Structure 1
C-alpha cells in the first residue's frame, strides 16, 4: 500500500518515512497547475490507484 499527497506547500516528512495516525506530514499548498490551495490524495495498491471511498466510510 502506498499513499501520495500532492500540491503540498511544505513537507515535514520524506519519502519512505514511517508515519503514525494523527502525525502532521505537511501543509496544504498551491503547487503545480492548480487554481487554489488543496490536497490531492492518492491511495495505491501494487502501484495501481484504488478508489478508497469505501475504506474511509468503514
Structure 2
C-alpha cells in the first residue's frame, strides 16, 4: 500500500527491506515484528494498517 502511495505521489519515497537480511537496519529502527513502517527515519508505525490509517500517519509526518 505504501508503494501505491509513492507511485501516485512523486514527493513520497518507499522502500521495502528484509529485516533478516538487513539486520543492522532492523536493529537501528528496533524492528521486532513486521510489518514495521518507518516514516522520515524517526516515527514508527507497527502492524497492519488500513489505507486510511496509513495515509493519516503519512500526512501527520509530512506536516
Quick check: which one's strand share is greater?
Answer: 1
TM-score normalized by the length of structure 2:
0.24
Pick the structure with greater CA Rg.
1
